[in-house]
Amino acid sequence: MNSMSWQERLGRAEVEGTFTDEDRDDANDWETCAVKERFGLLQAWGYHPQRSEIRQLGYAFGNAVGCGDIASAYNYYNAIQTIPQAVP
């Protein structure tokens, strides 16, 4: 398991020009993805108005990392960060 935050991984990918295989795997696993890092699994899958948006952003982030699209991954990561953490 990688101890770097997704912000750190994105920065490293920008410098190196690519994501690692571990980044690609972790971005597509709910246990290690950017959504889990921000909200935890219960809020991501729980019943609240933004759950669909949160999941969609998680899928889009994972896809961007998997495709090596650093700019899109940053955009999705930033969108995930703008959702209030205390969701009813």
pTM of the model: 0.84
- Please report, in tens digits, the pLDDT of each residue of the chain (88 residues total): 678 999 999 999 999 999 999 999 999 988 898 988 887 765 555 545 457 788 889 899 999 999 999 999 999 999 999 887 665 4
For position 4, what pLDDT does the model report? 93
Q: How many CB atoms lie within 10 A of CB 87?
A: 15
State which amino acid sits at residue 15: V
For position 41, what pLDDT does the model report? 60
